[in-house]
């Protein structure tokens, strides 16, 4: 959807122009993106950025179809998806990062459940089906685990959060890698589907015995318990800004600004982490769109990073943020052919 421009003229000789920019995509970063765009509106009330969290798959599709000025995806874009982008091209900008947690609903259990690298892939494979399974009990001595069926809750939509989780599961479980594998949508062996991070959170809350996966910000200020997961070093680690940042420190960001860490090293590393990307055009044909979007994105990759920790995200390192700002600055403007012809007349 092209930029909506509304010129409002006052009684004097001056005028102001309202600009609305449309974006859609991942629900993983949605709380942070909406905070950025609200804060930017306070700085410049003439700029409104509308963002809809419809999932990474929808973000890629709508961006590629030219229905929005920018998309968002936790799975970036793969080479085949990039080939589908029209001549304007795409820049993949890692704007934030964070961790994915396994949250559950176990009535009467106050202790935080520990899940080993052996156990949680088998839960998602449907091979461990009750909470008092001996494999779960071994990692939780002294915890009275109920004889309750496990209900897996997973995303029903094309999801970057699903992509990050399944990429991790594929890295640590040969059985998962040879079965469902990785992707924004996979053939789940078990479970019930819900739309978006909010939908998964609601279904878990309403389903005793449920377990599912969410972006950390969706549980940060709720009472939803999160599992303590065993990492590659054999250490059980709680999800936190610190443990996610530690996991991401080992990432070497390549020139295309797309990097993954499906099974991070180090004793303090939380095991399921990822960056999240904004998809923008290399070339826009409307200078107002280009210049306004560049200003908003430069704000988000600079001053806006200070809001990350408060709502459960890991701020970009200064080096990554610097490279993102350089990439934003290279967004270009090429007028439409019809506009160029009219200007020459």
Q: List, for residues 233-258, the tens digit of each pLDDT value.
A: 999 999 999 999 999 998 889 999 99
pLDDT above 50: residue 10: no
Question: Which CATH fold would you assign to the domain 99-250+257-273?
Answer: D-Maltodextrin-Binding Protein; domain 2 (3.40.190)
Q: Which residue ranges make up each domain of the chain?
A: 4-96+274-344, 99-250+257-273
Kindly state the average pLDDT of the residues 20-42.
Answer: 96
**End-to-end Cα spacing for the chain:** 28
Q: List, for residues 272-307, the tens digit of each pLDDT value.
A: 999 999 999 999 999 999 999 999 999 999 999 999
Report the share of the chain in percent with pLDDT over 90.
88
User: What is the value of pTM for the model shown?
Assistant: 0.89
Among 36, 27, 34, 77, CA closest to 55: 27
pLDDT score of 16: 57
User: What average pLDDT is seen over the chain?
Assistant: 92
- In eight-state DSSP terms, residue 315 is P
C-alpha to C-alpha distance for 25 and 34, rounded to whole angstroms: 12
In CATH terms, is domain 4-96+274-344 a member of 3.90.640.10?
Answer: no
pLDDT above 80: residue 11: no
C-alpha to C-alpha distance for 66 and 158, rounded to whole angstroms: 19
pLDDT above 60: residue 115: yes
The position carrying tokens 């295309």 is 256
Distances (CA, A) of 125 to 138, 232, 271, 276, 277: 19, 20, 18, 26, 29
pLDDT score of 335: 73
Kindly state the average pLDDT of the residues 15-33.
Answer: 90
Length of the chain: 345
Same fold, 4-96+274-344 and 99-250+257-273: yes
What pLDDT band is residue 336 in, cutting at 50, 70 and 90?
low
């Amino acid at each position: 959807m092209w930029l909506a421009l509304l010129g409002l003229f006052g009684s004097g000789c001056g005028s102001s122009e309202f600009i609305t920019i449309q974006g859609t995509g991942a629900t993983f970063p949605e709380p942070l993106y909406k905070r950025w765009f609200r804060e930017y509106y306070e700085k410049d009330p003439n700029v409104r950025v509308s963002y809809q969290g419809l999932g990474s798959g929808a973000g890629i599709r709508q961006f590629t179809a030219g229905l929005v000025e920018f998309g968002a995806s936790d799975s970036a874009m793969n080479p085949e998806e990039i080939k589908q982008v029209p001549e304007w091209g795409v820049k993949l900008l890692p704007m934030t990062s964070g961790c994915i947690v396994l949250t559950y609903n176990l009535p009467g259990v106050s202790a935080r459940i520990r899940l080993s690298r052996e156990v949680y892939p088998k839960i998602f494979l449907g091979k461990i089906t009750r909470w008092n399974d001996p494999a779960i009990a071994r990692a939780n001595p002294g915890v009275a685990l109920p004889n309750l069926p496990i209900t897996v809750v997973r995303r029903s939509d094309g999801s970057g959060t699903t992509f990050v989780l399944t990429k991790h599961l594929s890295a640590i479980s040969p059985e998962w890698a040879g079965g469902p594998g990785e992707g924004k949508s996979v053939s789940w062996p078990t479970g019930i589907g819900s739309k978006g991070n909010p939908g998964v959170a609601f279904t878990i809350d309403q389903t005793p015995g449920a377990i599912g996966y969410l972006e950390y910000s969706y549980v940060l200020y709720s009472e939803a318990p999160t599992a303590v997961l065993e990492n590659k070093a054999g250490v059980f680690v709680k999800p936190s800004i610190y443990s996610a940042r530690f996991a991401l420190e080992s990432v070497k960001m390549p020139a295309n600004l797309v990097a993954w860490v499906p099974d991070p090293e180090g004793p303090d590393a939380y095991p399921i982490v990822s960056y999240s990307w904004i998809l923008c055009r290399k070339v826009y044909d409307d200078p107002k769109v280009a210049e306004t979007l560049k200003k908003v994105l430069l704000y988000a990759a600079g001053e806006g990073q200070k809001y990350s920790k408060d709502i459960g995200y890991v701020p970009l390192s200064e080096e990554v943020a610097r490279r993102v700002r350089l990439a934003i600055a290279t967004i270009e403007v090429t007028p439409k052919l019809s506009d160029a012809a009219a200007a020459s007349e």
